[in-house]
Amino acid sequence: MHSLAQEIQGFSKSSLKKQCTHVTTVTGRKLLERRSDGGDGQEQVEELEEGGGCGFVEDKSLDLQVGVVRPFLLLASQDAAHDIDTLLRYKVSHVLNVAYGVTNPFPDRLVYKTLQILDLPDTDITSYMEECSCFIDQARDKDGAVLVHCNAGVSRSSSIAIGYLMLREKLLFQEAYSQVKMARPSVRPNPGFYQQLQLYKP
């Protein structure tokens, strides 16, 4: 009967299965990691084709597109809200930050209002309309311009802009939505916000 020590000594590394691991990096590069045979634990990494895989593809380009809903009401992502050249170009005086966990970088130059709203379908977006609209009115009354932004400038901030047009200009949902979409084509309120706005009766 073999002792455990003899069994371990007689064990050959070559009897181990060779291992290959497919890896997709955050930038979409596809790599193949291979364990080499010599038992020295070395790995060979071979690059496969670029992109086209699953996995998160990081977009490094800044989204500085500003949608002009009204001369005093602008809509954008946090990138534009953090870019002083963009803010100056659009003569922004007020910033309504409805993102979660996004800082306000120019408090000495601009008037900020921050409401940390979660971009979840069951968040009651319409409950924020009156407070946000009052802040937008402040900018308008001072001949200023307010930039409304969330993280991507797609769901929360667009919902606030749509709600403002419905509340203050008495537009129906479809008309308000069309005007905001025309100003910033990438807008898309999440399904919960979309439904709440359709039912919103200011």
Tokens (6 digits) for 94: 């007020």
From the list 176, 155, 164, the residue with the least C-alpha distance to 73 is 164
The most distant pair of C-alpha atoms in the chain lies apart, rounded to whole Å, by: 94
Does 150 participate in catalysis according to the annotation? Answer: yes
Contacts of 2 by beta carbon, 8 Å cutoff, 6+ apart: 10
**Distance from C-alpha of 28 to C-alpha of 24, rounded to nearest angstrom:** 6
Active-site hit among 20, 54, 134, 150:
150
Q: Within 10 Å of residue 89's Cβ, how many Cβ atoms?
A: 12
Identify the CA nearest to 176 among candidates 160, 154, 193.
160
CB 96 within 8 A of CB 81: no
Q: Which residues are catalytic?
A: 150
